[in-house]
Copies of this chain bind each other. A is one copy, B any other.
């Protein structure tokens, strides 16, 4: 059971967690990284398959290659925006792969647990959903540790596979940069940049069937 104070702390981290793209290069103690990974490893997973791996990237050469892959994808994506939206998109800082002392590639192995994983037999993508739950645990743990985290999803998966020598059947779900930051945002950075607004929760809730309030 949880006390009121404990409950408040849990909501505090849920509400204050932000996606951050600017980091200091200050190193992170190794045991803190392990605490964050252990939080990830205690996420739920379909059929208890624990499909995740964590590739810890601290090599400057590897970081440089990942930043190159993200940068070329960013330029490709900019082409799909037009005029003002393109200028605005290009002005956003979308990754901090070079600055962050560590980036973690979180992967999903769809073969983990054998051919008939309980639950995954019905909905195969529950393996990547489990991996996302692990990433959310990492996010809350990094925030609790006074660290900032950013989930980079600008890349071609095969570029990341090539750079990190990941086998073709393994899904590189996310590049997660972690570091200290001088400027932990109070609101989502895309809200502060007037890119998107937070929706009203009320409008997202239905009762007993789709569309019924």
Interface residues of A (CB under 8 A from B): 1-2, 5-7, 9-15, 17, 19, 34-35, 37-39, 41-44, 46-50, 52-59, 62, 73, 77, 80-81, 89, 92, 94, 107, 113, 116, 118-123, 125-126, 128-133, 135-137, 139-141, 143-146, 151, 153-157, 164-167, 170, 173-174, 188, 190-191, 195-196, 198-199, 201, 204-211
Contact = CB atoms under 8 A, between A and B. Distances in A.
A14 B38 CA distance: 10
Contact of A201 (B41, B133, B199, B205): B41
Contacts of A116: 77, 80-81
Contacts of A154: 119, 122
B164 A196 contact: no
A196 B166 contact: no
A42 B55 contact: no
Contacts of A125: 125, 128
